[in-house]
Amino acid sequence: MESKPLKQAIDLALDTLGMQGPVTRREVAEEVLRSAPDDHWSYGDLREARLAYIQREVTTRMGEVHSPEFIERHLTRIPDEYRAMLRKVPRFICITASGGAGSQHVMSFVATAEQWQANFDLKKRVTEAATVSRDHARDIRDLLVSTGARSLADLLQGKAAPQTESAA
């Protein structure tokens, strides 16, 4: 994003809506669209917004499974016990170790064993990262419960509930 005023509008919407409670990304985006005048958008910002919109649709279509007709027509030599699994295979798989922006994808039915291994390794790494993130969330929950604070903001402001001897 190039436009500093647009970045500031996003930060303001995030902070304002976030302080009011749970919020969706869509709600924040709607607030930015409502509040940011058109001149906050640079040509580069508009181009990037269009690309992001198209990329979301590309991602959706890459993740769709092949049609049953495709499976039946092209996999006649595959044993029946494997066809059920192949009906769940997406059209494309990610083969870049890090995933994310700029990652490479390959059509699932032309992917090599090495590319399937790269996809497996990516999913393993993502699963491990999700586990670490889950553990952090649990640790913060436990901190709030043990201190009697309603939120981290309460702890930062010294508003934690006093601990009784039985809770300590």
Q: What is the pLDDT of residues 116-134, one digit of tens each?
A: 999 999 999 999 999 999 9
32 in the same domain as 70: no
162 confidence band (pLDDT: 50, 70, 90): low
Which structural domain range is residue 32 located in? Answer: 1-63
144 in the same domain as 89: yes
Q: Which of 144, 152, 139, 146 is nearest to 166 (CA)?
A: 146
Assessment of whether the complete model's pTM goes beyond 0.95: no
Buried b (16+ CB within 10 A) or exposed e, 5-29: ebeebbeebeeebeeeeeeeeeebe
Distance separating alpha carbons of residues 89 and 120, to the nearest angstrom: 13
69 in the same domain as 46: no
Answer with the one of 40, 63, 86 that is the final residue of a domain: 63
- How many domains, the chain? 2
Q: Is 111 helix (H, G, I), strand (E, B) or coil?
A: coil
108 in the same domain as 136: yes
